[in-house]
Amino acid sequence: MTRGMTPGVTIGEFSRLCHLSAKTLRYYHDIELLVPAGIDEDTGYRRYAPGQVDDAHLIRRLRDLDMPIAEIRGVLAEPDPSARHEALARHLDRMEAELTRTRDVVLSLRRLLGPEPELPVRHRLSAGSPVLRVSARITRTEVTDWCGRVFPELYATLAALGTDPAGPAGATYSAEFFEGEIGEVVAFVPVSADVVRAGDDRFATLPPARYAVAVHNGPFADCDITYGRLGLHVASHDTALPDPIVEVYLVGPDETTDPAEFRTEICWPISA
């Protein structure tokens, strides 16, 4: 750091330029996040170059977004503007994902704390139906990203085959998926029987089954509330089977970007 009669503005002037207090600027100097252009040799006062104002503005906004100091330091040290923008974009993507998660949890809590609406439950006997499907053993924390990848792939496969889905997409969740750390999930899209190709293991048939069915309205984040109420109904009125639970996405992310508009059928397997 250069000593002597350093040109630039005082810490007080710089504070007014960037809306950061002198105390904060001294702290940023101490941790070498925003180092003054120089220190006056006679007075020991910090002086800042006008060109540092943009960095100060950027730091203030990134701290408002809770970006860690180490990451901010890396952004400021990046000489390539495009690389700097990419680093900022990655952080904003993380923030948007966190905001979405927080919003979903808040909505879920409001629903949980509010009056409990009546949950209509009906019974359905489903015949075996052909589907195009993808299966994997995944954890609960992976399921959202996994579904976000595989459903577009399933639709793209059908488009390549020159056919449309024969009904809304869905997924089956094994008992192991709920009870353990990992379990089998099968994502599927119904197809007409004439689309199925013999020997092509991408196609399968959902077995016939009897279900207790309820519709969950709203984000996937609070689907567990509907699961709980439907499960209690089954425990009181039916005999549950350990077969996979089926979710049918009547209105899902492929139709709306507003989670409040999602409609998901939850189909609980029961004995005949």
Residue 252 CB coordination number (10 Å): 20
Check: CB of residue 169 under 8 Å from CB of residue 264. Answer: no
The overall average pLDDT reported for the chain is 88
Describe the strand order of the beta sheet including 9-10 as a list of residue ranges: 3-4, 38-40, 46-48, 9-10
Q: DSSP string spanning 183-225?
A: EEEEEEEE--GGG--TT-TTEEEEPPEEEEEEEEES-GGGHHH
Residues 6+ apart with CB under 8 A from 146: 136, 138, 185, 187
Percent of the chain with pLDDT over 70: 96
| Mean pLDDT of the 71-83 span | 84
Residue 35: the pLDDT is 92
| Mean pLDDT of the 34-63 span | 88
The model's pTM is: 0.64
| Mean pLDDT of the 238-243 span | 94
Cα separation, 123 vs 191, in Å, equals 23
The answer for 199, left when phi > 0, alpha when psi is -120 to 50, beta otherwise, is: left
For the stretch 83-139, pLDDT in tens is: 888 888 888 888 888 887 787 777 777 777 767 678 899 999 998 899 999 999 999
